[in-house]
Amino acid sequence: MRVGVIGATGAVGRELVEVLGRRRFPVTKLRLFASGRSAGTRVETPFGPVVIEEFSQDRARDLDLALLAVSGDFAKAHAPGLVAAGVTVVDNSSAFRLEDAVPLVVPEVNAAALGEAKLIANPNCTTAILVVALAPLHAAFGLKRVIVSTYQAASGAGAEGMTELERETRRVLVEGEPARNEVFAHPLAFNVIPHIDTFQPNAYTREEMKVTWETRKIMGLPDLPISCTAVRIPTMRVHAESVTIETLRPVTAEAARAVLRAAAGVRVVDEPARNLYPMPLTATGQDDVEAGRIRANPVFGDHGLDLFLCGDQLLKGAALNAVQIAERLPALQVPA
Ligand code: 2RA
């Protein structure tokens, strides 16, 4: 496939190139697109050196596959034109995620939703990490309701977010000055911020509502009661999530552990006696979402469970899921 990464210089764009290489995606020609500022820069890739091009729909129209790591506005402006030119587009932004005609896909959960679609939406990172664990639990025990609290890394705000956290931390520790923020609403270093994306009329943030809306769509449970509190913490690139579920059928921690051990995309790390549980440090750079601290929730008796998840925001939360979607495209399937 002739593959283009649009937004190639951002944190997700760079990760997309690495993931395509690592998973030996069948790339006949890789093209990297960014703004005019980066155009002309030569970068080393697993597919050889590539010179970054300034994006235009016209330049990108002979791609087979475009992986978009751009803003929602940019995606809205350009994805339909690329699709009309015959390019299959996997979009990482929120622009099309809730449109009925656009599948929102986490392959371990709803690969069948892909169909013959030419425009596919990649979910919000927090949602993708959540549903790989929720879906098998739903299949085994039935979900009645879900409560999530997140601990989200700086990478969710892109390369600028990661740079800001590093700069602030140095400023405090090395220069002895107060942290100064531009990307986040407050200094992130030595802080936690219960505010990601904009506040909505219902007092939740848009990030929190994305978890609700997107989880319902991916899991095909339009009425699932789900509430999320999304919090930014000073870690680099792994989102952690504390999840409480009430189930329709009885559940035990041991049964849930067995279900999650068998689930694709999940690695159970749950040996508290050996201090083994999911952590950003251990989940960094890993494809699988770590699941642990699995225990009965006393509020819901034998129908409740608490667990803790950690997933690499740039991998399962973004680039890896996008490439996994591309791997399932009909053009790449060998006829039976
Ligand atoms: C965040 N979920 O962590 C967002 C990014 N997609 O900010």
What confidence tens digit (pLDDT) does each residue in 141-163 have? 999 999 999 999 999 999 999 99
> pLDDT at residue 25 above 80?
yes
12 labelled binding-site residue: yes
What is the CB neighbour count within 10 angstroms for residue 214? 23
C-alpha distances in angstroms, 108 versus 111, 134, 169, 219?
7, 11, 37, 11
Token pair in block for residue 191: 């802080």
115 labelled binding-site residue: no
Q: How many CA atoms lie within 13 A of 120 on its CB side?
A: 30
10 labelled binding-site residue: yes
Residues labelled as active-site residues: 125, 239
Q: Residue 230 CA: which ligand 1 atom is closest?
A: 3
Residue nearest ligand 1's atom 7 by CA? 156
Close Cβ partners of 208 (under 8 Å, ≥ 6 residues apart): 196, 227, 228, 229, 230
CB of 126 closer than 6 A to ligand 1?
Answer: yes
C-alpha distances in angstroms, 85 versus 25, 71, 80, 296?
22, 21, 9, 52
CATH 3.40.50.1820 fits 2-122+319-333, yes or no: no
CB of 164 closer than 6 A to ligand 1?
Answer: no
Lowest pLDDT segment from 70-84, 221-235, 320-334: 320-334
Residue nearest ligand 1's atom 3 by CA? 156
pLDDT tens by residue, 260-301: 999 999 999 999 999 999 999 999 999 999 999 999 999 999
pLDDT of residue 256: 98
pLDDT of residue 331: 86
pLDDT of residue 79: 98
Beta bridge partners of 292: 308
What three-state secondary structure class fits 6?
Answer: strand
C-beta of residue 163 within 8 angstroms of C-beta of residue 290: no
In this structure, which topology does domain 127-313 adopt according to CATH? Dihydrodipicolinate Reductase; domain 2 (3.30.360)
> pLDDT at residue 336 above 90?
no
Residue nearest ligand 1's atom 1 by CA? 156
CA distance 265 to 259: 12
- Report how far ligand 1's centroid is from the alpha carbon of 71 (Å): 12
Mean pLDDT (whole number) for 90-118: 97
Helix extents (H) in the chain: 11-22, 57-60, 72-84, 107-110, 125-141, 158-173, 206-219, 253-261, 280-283, 320-327
Domain boundaries, the chain: 2-122+319-333, 127-313
**Site to substitute for ligand 1 among 104, 125, 315, most atoms within 8 A of C-beta:** 125
Confidence class of residue 237 from pLDDT cuts 50, 70 and 90? very high
- Report how far ligand 1's centroid is from the alpha carbon of 266 (Å): 20
- Rounded to the nearest integer, the mean pLDDT of the chain is 97
Mean pLDDT (whole number) for 112-121: 97
CB of 17 closer than 6 A to ligand 1?
Answer: no
pLDDT of residue 330: 87
Q: What pTM did the predictor assign?
A: 0.96
227 labelled binding-site residue: no
CA distance 273 to 316: 28
Residue nearest ligand 1's atom 5 by CA? 156
> pLDDT at residue 328 above 90?
yes
> pLDDT at residue 332 above 90?
no
pLDDT tens by residue, 35-89: 999 999 999 999 999 999 999 999 999 999 999 999 999 999 999 999 999 999 9
CB of 130 closer than 6 A to ligand 1?
Answer: no
